[in-house]
Amino acid sequence: MRFSSALINTLRETPKEAETVAHKFMLRACMIKKLGAGIYDWMPLGFKSLQKVISIIREEMNKAGAQEVLLPVLSPAELWKETGRWNVYGKELMRIKDRHDNEFALGPTHEEVITDLVRREVNSYKQLPINLYQIQGKFRDEIRPRFGVMRSREFLMKDAYSFDRDEEGAMKSYKNMFETYVKICKRIGFKFRAVEADSGAIGGNLSSEFMVLAETGEDTIIYCEQCEYAANMEKASFKKDPVVDAAEEPLTKVHTPNIRTVEELAAFLGKKPEETAKTILYIVDGKKMAGAVIRGDREINEVKLKNALGASEIRLATPEEILEKTGAPVGFAGPINLREKGIRLAVDETAAYLKNTVTGGNENDYHYTGVNRGRDYQENLIADFAVAKKGDKCPKCGGALNEQKGIEMGHVFFLGNKYSKSMKATYLDESGKSKEMVMGCYGIGVSRVVAASIEQNNDENGIIWPMAIAPYEVNIIVVNAKYKEGMDYCETLYKELKEAGIDVIMDDRDISPGVKFKDADLIGFPLRVVVGEKNFVTGQVEVSYRRDPKNRIMLDKNSVAGEIINIVKSEKTGNTK
């Protein structure tokens, strides 16, 4: 491609809408253009990178034995109602009606559609296992689209679904996809971690996220310094303190005027915050109230709490709801007598084995001391719903946990029979007995991959593309377009590289060299070849890496093509020095 013919209108100023590094540089480098809130046009440069990501994903999925299909974006509401997700999925599901008033969903994911296809086409154990995937547009009505293509309402996704005869086979499929994702991440050039994750609206009891490590990431990863344990914040756990064996003190109600925080309460009573327990009240699935009891110095992980309660959604109870149900204002709820008031009580593991703790008194300006679970109150369930944080102990080895920022680019789920059971996706085994298929599903946010790569690879001047997904691998810059001898050389080099399969762009524009260099830095082409009259008259051509701009090497003009071809092919196959 010649720069003079390319649709690349770069921007010197950052648009006001840009919120993240990737969003800023994708707009400035003319990779995307905003059409509406959470809706973007992919421009030629951006689409080239997108196509390269797709190519890597497709090659690795095919190597792993998966078969590509293309499913409709539009899916009948009846399929979603079979699994119960029509009502459960929430407002992110884009719903439409046709002229006959039939309801449809614009697919945010395709578990229902693929399960319906397989239950119609697969009926024998001889046809299993099978793994089908597609690369297709998806739609989610995000409450707040942001970060450019990172969280948009229309996006490109690779979603795959495996069907097996039993759990053993399904776990093999899951591990196969896990290993495939590792290969994809390595080929793209990511620094990444695979972490334990919550399954969310997809369901299932085992899932892992593939997180691209970036300081600007919107997610936080908890990982162990000593072992392989890693999880996202929604799933992360930690080793709890040992149970303290102490004699039970008498239950005492204490007047605590003008106390509003755990720290104030602990100081007032001469206690430590970890010797207190707070009770937070929630409304579950829009109906009943539940109380969550947790140690005073810990915070509640609402995703883990929602899962522990078996709820579709939870929200904090309003002050009015709390007063009506408990008789006390916000801040004075405690576990004693809550169940008798029809409130379901969940106790976090951090609070379950505390002795002689301090809790709210369910009365304004009063707390209890000497509270002991079992004697003074009974719970409905004990679960882990505390937020894990840096400095906690690893749940596997006891080592120190640390934190790191990351961006989710892929997610693998072991689904079990969640969808096959509700949709009656069965097969006949060797003895002719009908059995439910065991499923897994595996997603990659393809458009997210491009943005995540930029978040991980950039400097103050622009993008620093890894060779594998750069829109162009080599940028030939003619310093002076009127210098005929230099221009003729660039034309020859350009053709040689193209014939060798190198993705090359030649900046032949008749503009100042400074603008060319700024555009080259902004767009981030991995290799730059600069042909200037001063060096060229001595037979020298300058070559530099975008990731190390100060390291410029001078090559004989006759050896440039061979050197460039070797560098590109070496980096794309992972054989970098």
Residue 388 inside a domain? The answer is no
Tell me the per-residue pLDDT of 258-281, one tens digit each, with 9 for 90 and over: 888 999 999 999 999 999 999 999
Is the same domain home to 33 and 137? yes
The type of residue at 441 is C
How far, in Å, are 14, 514, 536 from residue 517 at the CA level?
Answer: 18, 5, 18
How far is 155 from 173, CA to CA, in rounded Å? 26
User: Are 148 and 76 members of one domain?
Assistant: yes
Q: What is the DSSP string of 2-52?
A: BGGGS-----SSPPTT--SHHHHHHHHTTSEEEEETTEEEEPHHHHHHHHH
For position 11, which CATH number holds? 3.30.930.10
Q: Within this chain, do residues 352 and 279 fall inside the same structural domain, yes or no?
A: yes
Q: Print the domain residue range for 522.
A: 472-572
What are the φ/ψ torsions at residue 222 (nearest 5 degrees)? -105, 130
Domain count for the chain:
3
My answer on whether 277 and 136 are in the same domain is no
Phi first, then psi, for residue 316 (nearest 5°) are: -65, 135
68 and 168 share one domain:
yes
Residues 11 and 115 in one domain: yes
pLDDT of amino acid 574: 64
Task: Indicate whether 13 and 117 sit together in one domain.
Answer: yes
Residue 395: asked if its preceding bond is cis (omega within 30°), the reply is no
How does pLDDT run across 326-385, given as a tens digit for each residue? 888 888 999 999 999 999 999 999 999 999 999 999 999 999 999 999 999 999 999 999
Same domain, 433 and 334: no
Q: Sort strands 401-416 and 206-213 into parallel, antiparallel or unpaired.
A: antiparallel
DSSP 19: -
Q: 274: burial class by Cβ within 10 Å (0-12, 13-18, 19+)? A: middle
Q: Please indicate, yes or no, whether residues 143 and 215 belong to a single structural domain of this protein.
A: yes
Beta carbons of 265 and 367 less than 8 angstroms apart: yes
* Extended beta strands in 18-153, E state: 32-36, 39-42, 67-68, 74-76, 94-97, 103-106, 130-139
Among 455, 480, 495, residue at a domain's last position: 455
Q: What is the DSSP letter of 2?
A: B
The one-letter amino acid at 385: F
What is the pTM for the complete model shown?
0.86
Residue type, 158: K
Is the distance from CB of 519 to CB of 497 less than 8 angstroms?
A: no
Taking only the tens place, the pLDDT of each residue in 378-434 is 999 999 999 999 999 999 999 999 999 999 999 999 999 999 999 999 999 999 999
**Among 383, 412, 431, which residue terminates a domain?**
383
The mean pLDDT of the chain is 93
Q: What is the pLDDT of residues 133-179, one digit of tens each?
A: 999 999 999 888 888 999 899 999 999 999 999 999 999 999 999 99
- Say whether both 476 and 447 belong to one domain: no
Element (H, E) at 533: helix 533-536
Q: Could you tell me the pLDDT band of residue 575, with boundaries at 50, 70 and 90?
A: very low
